[in-house]
Amino acid sequence: MTASRTADGPAPHGSQTEPGSLRAARTWERARSIARSCAGQPLPAVPRTLADALGHALAEPLVALTDLPPFATAAMDGWAVSGPGPWRLGGAGVLAGREPGPLGPDSAVPLATGAPLPAGATAVLRHEHGAADTERGLLHDRSPAPVPEGQDIRPRGQECRSGEPLLPAGTTVTERVLGLAAAAGYDRLTVHRRPSVELLVLGDELLAQGVPRGGRVRDALGPLLPPWLRACGAELISHERVADDLAALGEAVRRSPADVVVTTGSTASGPVDFLHDTLRALDARLLVDSVAVRPGHPMLLAELPATADGRARRLVGLPGNPLAAVAGMVTLAEPLLRHLGGHCAPEPVQLTAGSALPGHPRDTRLLPVFTAGQKVTPLPFDGPAMLRGLALADGLAVVPPGGVPAGDTVDVVELPRR
C-alpha cells in the first residue's frame, strides 16, 4: 500500500517500482543521502562531564588546555644527573607528583618515572645502569654507552602545546578520547545532544524467550538493535513491543517524544502491516518509501508531526526480516542518527573482492562479508530472514547490480565491533 504524501513525487533517476507496489524506490546512495540531509543541523551543543560525554560527538575541537607533558619529566626510574659523571649523590629522591629543588653541577638525585625533572638536570640515568657507592656518596655510570644529554627525559610540550588542536569537532567521544581529554586538562566537554530513540518492535508472532514454538519465532531484533542504535550515538529512551493493531501502533507513534522512532516489521503489505496506514493517519511525510536494495527494500523514512514544543521527529521503518532490518539500519537509521548527533560520518571503505560477489539484477545488494587484509569474501546464509552470515561478518559489501567479479574493488560498510 502507499502512504498519502511523499516528499517528492515521481520515481527519481535510477529507481524502480516494485512489481505489485506503487512505491517509488530510491537508489541506495540517494536513500542514505536523504537520511543524512533530512536531519538538518546537528542537535544543540551541551556541556557534559567526562563520564557522561561517552558516545557523544564533540561540538567543538578539543584544544589542549596545557602543554603535554606539562613539565619535563623522567621517562625511567633512576637518577637525575647533571653533567657526564661520576656524580655526587644527593639525599632525598624525587617522586612523581613532587616539585624538586634544583640540581647542582656533577650531582645526581634518585627519581621515579614521571617525576618532574630538577632544574639543572641534563639526563636520567636508568636504575639498572648506575652503581651507587654509598660510602663515598658517589654514583658511577655503568651504561653500555655514555649517557647522552637529554637521555630518558620527556621534554615539556613533547606531545602538544597549550592551545594546540588535538581532535576536530565531530569526533566521537570514545574511552580513548576521554583519556586524552583528561590528560589535556578537561573536566567537561561540549558535545552535541544525543538523538533520543524509541524502538517499537512489531509482530504478534514474536516470542521474548525460549525456542520457537506454535508457529511463533524469537524476537531477534529486540536484542540486536538497542546496542547498535547506541553505537550510532543514540540515547535509547524506550524499547517496547507493540501489538499488530492499527490503533495501538498509531498511539505509540503519536505520543512518542523521541527525536527518532524506529519500528521493526509491518513495512510491507501483509494483512497486519499497519505502518503505512499509521503514517497516513498521522499526516506524516514520507521521505523514503522503499529503496532499490536487497535485502531490505520495503524500508522507509518519514517526517512525523513535530512535538508540541516544535522539535522535529522522524520515523525509520525497518523491515521485519532480520537481515533486511540490518540493511535498513545502515541505509537509513545510522546516517540519520549520526548526523543528528553531529558525528563525522564514516564512509564505506574500498576493498577488493577476494572472490566473485553475487549481485541482484537491478538493485544494490548488501552482502555480509568477511575481511582478511584488503580482501573480502562473501559469507553463506545471507538470506533476508537469516542472521548466520551476518554474525560472522565484519562488513556489508555494497554490491552494484549484476555483481562484482573477483579482483575488482567494492565498497564495504563496516559493522560495529566490540
Ligand X SMILES: Nc1nc2c(c(=O)[nH]1)N[C@H]1C(S)=C(S)[C@@H](COP(=O)(O)OP(=O)(O)OC[C@H]3O[C@@H](n4cnc5c(N)ncnc54)[C@H](O)[C@@H]3O)O[C@H]1N2
Q: Could you tell me the smallest distance in angstroms from the CB atom of residue 293 to ligand MOO?
A: 8
Q: Which residue lies nearest ligand MOO, judged by its C-beta?
A: 384
Compare residues 319 and 395 and give the one whose CB is closer to ligand MOO: 319
Residue 322 is a binding residue for ligand X (CB under 6 A): yes
* Residue 50 CA: distances (Å) to CA of 70, 144, 176, 179: 21, 45, 11, 9
**Region of 75-83, 132-140, 317-325, 390-398 interacting with ligand X (CB under 6 A):** 317-325
Residue 27 is a binding residue for ligand X (CB under 6 A): no
Compare residues 231 and 323 and give the one whose CB is closer to ligand X: 323
Strand bridging mode 45-49 / 188-192: antiparallel
Residue 206 is a binding residue for ligand X (CB under 6 A): yes
Q: Could you tell me the smallest distance in angstroms from the CB atom of residue 368 to ligand MOO?
A: 13
Compare residues 63 and 272 and give the one whose CB is closer to ligand X: 272
CA 356/CA 349 separation, integer angstroms:
18
CA 5/CA 84 separation, integer angstroms:
83
Q: Could you tell me the smallest distance in angstroms from the CB atom of residue 285 to ligand MOO?
A: 23
Contact letters (x/-) for ligand X, 248-267, by CB under 6 A? Answer: ----------------xxxx
CB within 8 Å of 339: residues ≥ 6 apart = 35, 36, 37, 39, 42, 345
Q: Residue numbers of the site for ligand MOO (CB under 6 A)?
A: 294-298, 319, 321, 324, 384
| Residue 195 binds which entry of ligand MOO, ligand X, none, CB below 5-8 Å type-dependent | none
Compare residues 115 and 300 and give the one whose CB is closer to ligand MOO: 300
Compare residues 152 and 382 and give the one whose CB is closer to ligand MOO: 382
Contact 242, 201 (CB under 8 A): yes
Compare residues 178 and 217 and give the one whose CB is closer to ligand X: 217
CA 389/CA 368 separation, integer angstroms:
6
Residue 63 one-letter amino acid:
V
Residue 271 is a binding residue for ligand X (CB under 6 A): no
Compare residues 123 and 275 and give the one whose CB is closer to ligand MOO: 275
Residue 15 is a binding residue for ligand X (CB under 6 A): no
CA 289/CA 300 separation, integer angstroms:
5
- The three cell numbers locating residue 371: 575481511
Residue 18 is a binding residue for ligand X (CB under 6 A): yes
Among 89, 221, 260, 333, binds ligand X (CB under 6 A): 221
Compare residues 151 and 331 and give the one whose CB is closer to ligand MOO: 331
CA 249/CA 84 separation, integer angstroms:
81
Among 73, 321, 331, 364, binds ligand X (CB under 6 A): 321
Residue 383 is a binding residue for ligand X (CB under 6 A): no
Residue 203 is a binding residue for ligand X (CB under 6 A): yes
Q: Could you tell me the smallest distance in angstroms from the CB atom of residue 385 to ligand MOO?
A: 7
CA 249/CA 255 separation, integer angstroms:
10
Residue 319 is a binding residue for ligand X (CB under 6 A): yes
CA 356/CA 397 separation, integer angstroms:
12
C-alpha closest to that of 300 among 37, 9, 7 = 7
Compare residues 100 and 298 and give the one whose CB is closer to ligand MOO: 298
CA 224/CA 324 separation, integer angstroms:
13
Contact 281, 250 (CB under 8 A): yes
| Contact set for ligand X, span 336-355 (CB under 6 A) | none
Q: HEC states along 347-399?
A: CCEEEEECCCECCCCCCEEEEEEEEECCEEEECCCCCCCCCHHHHHCCEEEEE
Residue 5 one-letter amino acid:
R
* Contacts to ligand X by CB under 6 A: 18, 20-21, 201, 203, 205-206, 217, 219-221, 264-270, 273, 295, 297-298, 319-322, 324, 384
